[in-house]
Amino acid sequence: MSLGTKRRRTCFRLIAGLVFALMFLYNCLTPYIADDFTFAYAFDTGLRLESLPQLIQSLAFHYMEWTGRVVVKFFAQGFTMFPKIVFNVFNAAAYLGLGLVIYRLARGRRSDRYDVAAFLLIQVALWEISPAFGQTNLWMCGACNYLWASLGCLAFLLPWRYYLQKPFSSGKGMVIGMAAAGLFAGWLSENTSAGMLVCLVLCIAFLIWLKQKVPAWMISGFVGALAGFVILIAAPGNYNRADDFPDTTPFLTKYAVRFLDCVNMLWDNALPLLMVFAALYVLLWMQKASPAELAWPAILLLGGLGANFAMILSPFYYDRSSHGVFSLLTAACAACLVQFEGQRMRKLFAAGAACVTVVCLFDVVGASYDIASYWMMYHTRESLIVAEAAQNDGAAIVTYGIEPYTRWCGAYDLPDIRENGEDSIALARAKWYGVAELTADEVRTYPFPGHTNEAYEAGYEESIAASTQADSN
């Protein structure tokens, strides 16, 4: 191994270690939020989850009454049965794993395993592009639903990537294994699994276009993924939930609005990725890359777009639902980038990676302050709730809500303790603390120079009013 390769390996491992350490710290500073309290109790009985049979019965009830996404819910509910440190470790590993999977989807089986610039740019994209980073990567319920779903779907694409790069032989074991893996990958997430299926169809179509034989494991993997997706979509709970949100908007207007919601999601958040992809893909085309080298980035791009526009079928497109979309688009960009081997291009990419890393580091500092400040304020409030609950023997408690500032905080844009103590989250939170009811009569926040939020503005206006009244007196 050459000295240059050893240095690249050291840098690669250092970046990976720093990513894991930072995500582990952030997970430790992210408490139970919103649905985490609800998921700690069995959906069918309302009792605290304590065993695997109880968890399976809860998920079966959930499948029939609420949603088909029971594979990711298995983890979201299952982790509540253990100390949160267990989730913190696994989730930090899952986040790092997603970056590594995207890297392998881009590079495939190239001999040089340590492309530091590409790996660094992947990490920057995962950090900067997501409009709901904390909700999808730190919040326990959200991470299981979105980060873990993206990891599973993209990991399932790895054998397809390797085969398109260089065909390999396989046996019956792989045929069976891909069918089973496909079943679970297709069952993970409505839009991310849909984007994955788009990639699978395009891979098979590409091989047919090249007049090459489609291996049996591809067929079994696709059939398994399609079966899992059907199980996910056909869940009775999906239709029960749809009945709770009737939409009387005229057909064409409804779907035109949803289409524009999907377009706006790309415009508001993914435009940098799409512009980078367009530039890199044109350069690849101009340097006369092989059909396979051109096809794979395009397949990932179309998979990401498929995952995005699959949300047309949903009445709501939450920011957190875009996690799989942006993961696939990041992989598409990376799959273009790694194919440039010239020294001049590699130096240009390294310089670009250094520049965007500087921007990323500023955001890391702000995000760290926000996450840590929220954690401190949360635990101050929690100690007061626990003390008051013990003193009042479980009577109703009125406290305050907490509003964070940035999208990197797990609690950002999620329901905290509110005036209404009758919704499912409020009831579960009250049960968690052993009180009759838990509500808030005000929302507080913490100072964050250069930032503001509704709670801070309300407090500032009150302080100005109080100061004006004092001066007049």
Q: How far is CA 440 from the centre of its chain?
A: 29
Flag whether pLDDT at 358 surpasses 50. Answer: yes
Which residue from 23, 24, 19, 67 is spatially nearest to 43, judged by alpha carbons? 67
CA distance 23 to 29: 10
C-alpha to C-alpha distance for 63 and 127, rounded to whole angstroms: 32
Model confidence over 131-152: pLDDT tens digits?
999 999 999 999 999 999 999 9
Phi and psi at residue 400, to the nearest 5°: -130, 155
Mean pLDDT along residues 192-219 = 96
**Other C-beta atoms within 10 Å of 352: how many?**
16
- pLDDT, tens digit, for every residue of 389-435? 999 888 999 999 999 999 999 999 999 998 888 888 999 999 999 99
Whether pLDDT at 466 is above 50: no
Model pLDDT, residue 462? 52
Burial track 249-273 (b if 16+ CB lie within 10 A, e otherwise): eeeeeeeeebeebbeebbeebbeeb
Mean pLDDT of the chain: 92
Supply the pTM of this predicted model: 0.94
What is the rounded distance in angstroms from the CA atom of residue 103 to the CA atom of residue 125? 12
Q: What confidence category does residue 87 fall into, taking pLDDT thresholds of 50, 70 and 90?
A: very high
pLDDT at residue 1, rounded to an integer: 59
Identify the sign of the CA torsion 332, 333, 334, 338: positive
Q: How confident is the model over 170-179, as a mean pLDDT?
A: 94
Please tell me the least confidently modeled range out of 234-248, 271-285, 286-300, 454-468: 454-468
Residue 463 has pLDDT above 60, yes or no: no
Rounded CA separation 429/246 (Å): 28
Percent residues over pLDDT 90 in the chain:
78
Buried b (16+ CB within 10 A) or exposed e, 412-425: bebebbeeebeeeb
Q: Is the pLDDT confidence value at 346 over 90?
A: no
270: left (phi over 0), alpha (psi -120 to 50) or beta: alpha
CA distances from 21 to 75, 126, 133, 375, 455 (A): 22, 16, 17, 18, 31
Question: 3-class SS at 245?
Answer: coil
Q: CA 216, CA 240: separation in Å to the nearest integer?
A: 38
What is the pLDDT, as a whole number, of residue 433? 94
Question: Distance between CA atoms of 470 and 463, rounded to whole angstroms?
Answer: 10
DSSP 68-129: S-HHHHHHHHHGGGS-HHHHHHHHHHHHHHHHHHHHHHHHTT-S----HHHHHHHHHHHHHS
- Is residue 113 over pLDDT 90? no
Pair 84, 32: CB distance under 8 Å: yes
pLDDT score for 145: 96
